[in-house]
Each structure stands twice: as C-alpha cells, then as structure tokens.
A and B are shown apart, each in its own frame.
Chain A
C-alpha cells in the first residue's frame, strides 16, 4: 500500500524486517542507520523494553533518490520478534510493500525460524496478502558467529526457501556483511512491484 503523491511526485513505500526474536532485525536497521547517517535526516525511532528488546517497532525513513521521475522514500520498520508480541507485530505489517525475513543461522534457532516464517504467512493472510506474492528477501544472519554451531546455507534454504524461491543472502548484521545488498535487493523488488503504477 505504498502511497504515490502525484502532486509532489513522491512515493512512500513500507519495508518490514520480520523474523524470530533476537535474530538481528534491529541490528540491520542500526547498521543501515550508521552507514547512511549523512543521508538520513531524522533519528531512528525505537520503541523497546527496558531489557532492550523491541516492544513495538523500530522505524527508519530512508530517502533513496529518484526512480522513474519519482522521489522515493522507503520507510524501514522492524517487528518485535518475541512470540508474545503477535498483536503488535500484526499491526506493523499493515500496508507493507516489501519484507526482509531475517533468519537466525544458529542451529538451536532452526525451529524458531520456521515458526516465525509461518507466523508471517498467517499475519499476511489477515491482510489478504500472500507470502508468495509480496516482494520478499531472506537473510541468513549471524554468519560471523564462530563459537556456536551454525546451520549450513543449504539447510536454511531447504527449511525456509524451498517453496518461496526468493533471493537469499548469508549475512552478518553486526559486521554489516551483506546488509546493504539485502536492502538493495528488497528495494528493487518492491519498486518493481510498484512499477506499473508509476508509469
């Protein structure tokens, strides 16, 4: 539900980072914020608990310049990953135009990734959206971890991407590895889906 302002030639699109708790959604936004600080005019907004866990969402507006003559602003959001915050998670998904699913590469998080992806599918369906149609990119985060067993990429692909068949990136939100390529991919997929309207 991007908003196209024909008068000011401006497009606002909503991209949501989804995934299991402590998977690195907020870290993705923090990396993007630090990397592009001079281009982001406002402060990153975070609604979090005292324990530094996302309570409602993080928000980062990002001006990506002109596409097809339109000034494009992407609004980056994260959802709270913890299972108990499903009501607020659902609210953040309203009007979503593109999704990055941030999966946790640790072996012990394998089940949580699958459950969170299933939860995404369910929550999208309440807005009559299909996970197979919405622009989606997978990110296999925490590839930098050395001291804990990690799932092989092939296993994560099989678990999460065997049916979806969407672009996926092994990444590290903490070091920044593949964070920007993930973002670029979801922006281009989202813009492609909006293209027909912008002509």
Chain B
C-alpha cells in the first residue's frame, strides 16, 4: 500500500479467486440447495463479498448489504450497552420472507433470506455448517 493510505486497509479483504469460488460453492450447496432464497456474504462496511440466489430473486443487494451491515452494527452496539458480548440470534420474521443474520468472524456477516419452505431451526443448522466451512477456507 502507498504511504498515502492507512495501514489497516483492504489487503486482508482481497480474497483470491480460489477462495471466492469456494465460498460461492458453499453458499450454493449448503444454503440455496436447502431452500434458502438468497444468501449474501458481506463485510462489516457493507461491501458484498459473494452473493448466491435461487434465480427467482430480484433484490437490490447493494442496498440490502448496506442496511444489513448497519443494522448488525447497531444491534451489536446495543448488546454492549446492556452488558452482552453479542446477541446470538438475529432474525427478522415477515409474512412471506425472513432474514437471518450470522456473524462469520469479526469482519464478515452472512445474510440469509428465506421463505416458508425452510424452518428457522433447519436454517440455523445449515448456516452454522456453512460458517464452519467458510472459516476453514478463510484460514487457508
């Protein structure tokens, strides 16, 4: 990095093609194939790292990512204000669509959008599995 920019910048976010391919495969096989409509892997600044859906979604993913990262950060700050490390379940339920947030590591978030065909329990199980796989891949 040039001297005109702070040290903590984005080299740690510049994932290689192999890692991105791996992440996309995990999102697809573990989540989309389990019935999740759309899944986004974003960073805490609101950038989209990877995005997979069932081909029937037409969401504005850039706005979703910006709002999701801000929402997560706000809830996380609230948790600390009441003396919690974090709130472990972050979930918004709608009539047809639901959104589930899950922290992958201090920098990345997984956002899953799912409908009535997937139960929250199954989703949480699948998300936990996917996160373990993603973390193993990021450690490489």
Contacts and interface: CB of A to CB of B under 8 A. Distances in A.
Interface string A130-171: 100110000000000000000000000000000000000000
Nearest to B21: A7
A128 interface: yes
Interface in B63-98: 63, 66-67, 69-70, 73-74, 77
Contacts of A197: 1, 9-11, 14
Contacts of B11: 197
Given A14-B47, A45-B63, A56-B70, A196 B13 contact: no
B10 A1 contact: yes
Contact of A59 (B8, B47, B66): B66
A196 B17 contact: no
For the complex, would chain A's binding face be called helix, strand, loop or mixed by DSSP majority? mixed
Nearest to A130: B6
Give the bracket for the number of chain B residues in contact with chain A. Answer: 20 to 34
A126 interface: no
A94 interface: yes
Nearest to B67: A45
B5 A193 contact: yes
A91 B62 contact: no
A67 interface: no
20 contacts: A1-B8, A1-B10, A1-B45, A1-B47, A2-B47, A3-B14, A3-B47, A6-B16, A6-B17, A12-B47, A42-B63, A43-B60, A59-B67, A73-B62, A91-B73, A94-B69, A127-B8, A133-B6, A194-B5, A194-B10
Given A1-B9, A134-B5, A197-B11, 18 more contacts: A1-B45, A3-B13, A3-B45, A4-B10, A7-B17, A43-B63, A57-B70, A61-B63, A77-B66, A91-B77, A94-B69, A95-B43, A130-B6, A134-B6, A194-B10, A197-B1, A197-B9, A197-B14
